[in-house]
Structure 1
């Protein structure tokens, strides 16, 4: 039997059974068609507890059990996703421009928003090239790595940068602090950022802010791909495409977001 999952921190308001159910549901969303035993193992829960959670999720329609006793998302999850899309209006406003950037660059394109000290992919268009950067909607990343996060540090509340620096204040090597501050200053000056290998080895990310009402950042658009493809000419085209897209999206959302 796999070890029972233990929380990394204690939260007096956390309901352990609900937390475990969401863990199971999220796992099935990422890796469908697994057995009870496989799900229990991956979620670090006992088989009996996992079985009860799966039964409860099935009763509410959030998962389905196939004839081969495998599990996948159910119709309630589909309905929930449909409603979620309408509660993130930036997805709709940016959709046409994500398509255009994807066609122009033939690279992967991501629409990103901040949540706390992380960024989350809201929507994406994946490159069709054999060598490409692969990601998924809902994937999270720290603010201080990659283009999208650093763009937020440059354009959002200045206290965010202070928080990020404070979190790593006790690190033995603080040279990264001055580098990050310098990068943020550069982003503010040029309006975009080119990340090379800092969020994923051998990959690049070119990101720019989506600015809404009162010049407030409401998201970022990022183009990513393998570093080997980032020639100076290709980089220039990607930057131009990214900046044009965020400008068009920003015009659409004035007075709305």
Structure 2
């Protein structure tokens, strides 16, 4: 691990469960000397990525907030998707959620709330389980066989626990069914009493760059018109894909 990578890995230590860290704890976690740890921290504080508190401990800094604002403002999927998701939530009365995959991490990047005011455990920026829920499945379903085989070999235990197969062939076959359907309906997979209907947001190829989902209490989902929800979801996902592609085009 390079010095830069090790320094930046400090940012991953700050979580909801552990929002502040002392210099000594950071150095112990990294396995580095105190002088090296101080050098890393000085750089991170100087760049605004960390903030030094009065008691000498550290928390995430103001630069993180600025970067989040910039990302919301310039990311094509977010810029195009936010008004369409507000419209989708107004039409359906459901929460609408955009989800992206980054390497092997699934992360919700935006959410528009419906009237139920759902309190979801996974919000913007918090990594989600890779194999639970509708959004991950529709994203994974568009991946080539070689990529899925590598994922299976790396995460076989988690895949089996999620009920997605006990062999690479079974895992790929399950996802092929989802790809053929073009959507996935989950019920209580990620959170009890909560379901979702998800469709892929396709990029310029057949690969998904994200997913769009309607998140609904299961008690409501059972009585809703799934075909109508899918029609609205697919229309919104298609518009997001089309408009975002224009932003990626060379100027």
TM-score (norm 2): 0.72
Matches within 5 A, 1:24-173: 24=13, 26-27=14-15, 30=16, 57-63=44-50, 74-86=61-73, 88-168=75-155
- Structure 2 counterpart SS, 1:213: coil
Closer, same or farther: CA 132–83 of 1 in aligned 2, 3 Å: closer
Whole-angstrom distance in 2 between the partners of 1:151 and 1:175 = 13
Aligned to 2:181: 190
Closer, same or farther: CA 145–81 of 1 in aligned 2, 3 Å: same
Closer, same or farther: CA 229–14 of 1 in aligned 2, 3 Å: farther
Closer, same or farther: CA 61–129 of 1 in aligned 2, 3 Å: same
Show structure 1 runs of 5+ residues with no match.
Answer: 1-11
Closer, same or farther: CA 116–65 of 1 in aligned 2, 3 Å: closer
Closer, same or farther: CA 125–69 of 1 in aligned 2, 3 Å: farther
Q: RMSD of aligned C-alpha atoms? A: 3.9
Deviation, structure 1 residue 241: 2.3
Closer, same or farther: CA 201–58 of 1 in aligned 2, 3 Å: same
Whole-angstrom distance in 1 between the partners of 2:145 and 2:73 = 30
Whole-angstrom distance in 1 between the partners of 2:152 and 2:213 = 24
Is the aligned partner of 1:246 residue 2:228?
no
Whole-angstrom distance in 2 between the partners of 1:213 and 1:67 = 50
Show structure 2 runs of 5+ residues with no match.
Answer: none
Q: Which moved more, 1:64-73 or 1:107-116?
A: 64-73
Whole-angstrom distance in 1 between the partners of 2:57 and 2:155 = 43
For residues 176-221 of structure 1, give each alpha carbon's deviation from its aligned partner in whole angstroms, at most 9, with x where no partner exists: 2476444322322221111122223332121111123244422211
How many aligned positions are there? 239
Aligned to 1:176: 165
Q: Identify which of 11, 18, 22 aligns with 2:7.
A: 18
Whole-angstrom distance in 2 between the partners of 1:17 and 1:218 = 29
